[in-house]
Amino acid sequence: MAPWALLSPGVLVRTGHTVLTWGITLVLFLHDTGEPDPARPRTHPIPPLRQWEEQGELLLPLTFLLLVLGSLLLYLAVSLMDPGYVNVQPQPQEEAKEEQTAMVPQAIPLRRCRYCLVLQPLRARHCRECRRCVRRYDHHCPWMENCVGERNHPLFVAYLALQLVVLLWGLYLAWSGLHFFQPWGLWLRSSGLLFATFLLLSVFSLVASLLLASHLYLVASNTTTWEFISSHRIAYLRQRPSNPFDRGLTRNLAHFFCGWPSGSWEALWAEGEEEEEGGSQAV
C-alpha cells in the first residue's frame, strides 16, 4: 500500500469516527459524577459508569460497551462494503437478466451511463465521488465516505437505530453527571469537558433521529433519498402521479429488511404503467 493511501479521505473519516466514539466513551466512564463541594473537595471521585461497577452492577456498563462496539462495527461494515456497484464487465447471469429485463412489456429501456459507460439498471445512478454506478442508489454519505445503495442500505438503517440508542444513553449519562454550582470558574474546570460532551451528544442525537425517521419513511414507501428529492429529474418517475415501486407497507418492509422477493424493479415499473393506463381508459 502506498504511504499516501493512509491519508485518503476514507481512512481519515473512519479513523476520526473511531477516535471520537471511544473518546466520548472514555469521558463518560472517567468523569466525576458526584456533586462537588467547594468547601470539602473530593479526593476519590466516582466516575459515571464505574459507579455501577463499584456497586457490583456490571451488566449495565458491559451492555453500554457492547452497544458502542456494535455500533462501531456496523459503521465500519456499511462504510467498507460494496454498496451495490454495477459491474463494468457484466457477468453471464447479469447479461441474461438484462436481456430478460429488456423483454418486459413497456419497461423503460436501460440507458448507458455517460461517465463509466455501463448499462444502468433501473433505479441505479452514477456517484461522482465513488466514480461508479450504484444499484438502487440512495445517497453518498460523507460521514461513511461510501455510497448507500442496494446492498448496504438495510445495514445503514440498522446502524442509525443502534447509534441512536447509544447516543441517547450517553446523553442521559452525561446529563446525570452535570451538577451546576457556583463559582462558575470552578464548575467549568471540573465539568467543562463533560458539558462539551453533552452538547456534542445532543447534536449527534438530533441528527441521528432525523436521519432514522426520514429513512424509515422512505423504506416504508419503497423509495430512495435520490428519488424523493429529484423525482422531477428522473426519467422513470417524471410526470408520474404515484410511486410505481410502492407495494404496500408490509411488503415494502419485508422486501427491504428480509429480502423477500417482490419482482424486479423493471417489472414493477411496467405493472404500474399498465395499471395507470388501465385506470385512464376506465375513466
Which of 227, 209, 206 has the alpha carbon at shortest distance from 218?
A: 227
Residue type, 136: R
How remote is the C-alpha of 126 from its chain's centroid? 19
For residue 132, the cross-strand partners are: 127
**CB distance 47 to 115 below 8 Å:** no
For residue 109, the cross-strand partners are: none
For residue 146, the cross-strand partners are: 141
Respond yes or no: is residue 130 known to be catalytic.
Answer: no
- Show Cβ contacts of residue 158 under 8 Å, excluding neighbours closer than 6 positions: 74
Which of 130, 136, 131 has the alpha carbon at shortest distance from 227?
A: 136
Q: Pick the catalytic residue: 127, 141, 147, 258?
A: 141
Residue 136 CB: number of other CB atoms within 10 A?
21
Active site residues: 141
